[in-house]
Structure formats: structure tokens, C-alpha cells
Amino acid sequence: MEGSKKMMKRPIKEVYGSDASDGFNKGKAETVERYRALLRLSNEHRLSEIEWHQAASKANSIASQIE
């Protein structure tokens, strides 16, 4: 409980910066970082789907050769 009270008592200046432009720039940097992380996750997912598709395709090819 004590920790949450300390967070509430932090000065706004510490959280948002000394003026509006600092707050805007900090928010913009955090947003860019968040979307870059989402883009990395999306790219990793796309690459894993491509690998899975290639493996399934190869397995189907081998199965058709056996028949």
C-alpha cells in the first residue's frame, strides 16, 4: 500500500517533464517504442507462419512421393 501512495505523490514534473513539449516528446517516444515492439512481434509471427507453411508443403510433397 505504501508503494502505491508514493506513486500517487510523485510530482507531475517528474512524470511528464518540465513543460508541454517535454511531455509530448516523452509520450511520442513511448508510442514509437510500443509500435516498434508490436511490429517486431508481427514480423516474427509472419516468419513463423512462412516456416510452418514450407514445412507442411515439404511433408505433403514427401507423402505424395511415397504414394
- Could you report the per-residue pLDDT of 29-38, keeping only the tens digit for each? 999 999 999 9
Q: How far is CA 38 from the centre of its chain?
A: 3
Query: Rounded to an integer, what distance in angstroms lies between the CA atom of residue 42 and that of residue 39?
Result: 5
Query: Rounded to an integer, what distance in angstroms lies between the CA atom of residue 19 and that of residue 21?
Result: 6
Query: Rounded to an integer, what distance in angstroms lies between the CA atom of residue 53 and that of residue 61?
Result: 12
Q: pTM above the 0.85 mark?
A: no
pLDDT digits (tens, 9 = 90+) for 2-55: 556 665 666 666 666 778 888 889 889 999 999 999 999 999 999 999 999 999
